[in-house]
Amino acid sequence: MCAAITTWDPLRHYGATKEGAAKMTIGIAGVGGLGTMGLKMAKGLGHRVVAISSSDKKKDLAMSKGADAFVNINDEASCKAEAGKIDLILSTISAHHDMQPYINLLDIDGTVCMLGLITEPMSFSQMSILPTRKSISSSMIGGIKSTQECVDFCAKHQIYPDVELIEAKDIDFIWDKLKSVNDTGLRYVIDIEKSKLNADFMPKKE
Residue-range domain boundaries for the chain = 2-157, 163-197
HSE of 89, CA atoms in CB hemisphere, 13 A: 37
Query: What per-residue confidence (pLDDT) applies to 186?
Result: 77
**Homologous superfamily assigned to 2-157:** NAD(P)-binding Rossmann-like Domain (3.40.50.720)
Query: What per-residue confidence (pLDDT) applies to 1?
Result: 75
Cα–Cα nearest to 103, from 74, 71, 125: 125
Per-residue pLDDT of the chain (206 residues; tens, 9 = 90+): 788 999 999 999 999 999 888 999 999 999 988 999 999 999 999 999 999 999 999 999 999 999 999 999 999 999 999 999 999 999 999 999 999 999 999 999 999 999 998 999 988 889 999 999 999 999 988 999 999 999 999 999 999 988 889 988 888 888 887 777 666 777 888 988 888 887 776 666 66
Q: What is the pTM of this model?
A: 0.87
Burial 67-84 (b: 16+ CB within 10 A, else e): bbbbbbbeeeebbeebee
Q: Are 205 and 179 in contact (CB under 8 A)?
A: no
Cα 169 from Cα 110, distance rounded (Å): 45
Query: What per-residue confidence (pLDDT) applies to 205?
Result: 63
Query: What per-residue confidence (pLDDT) applies to 32?
Result: 87
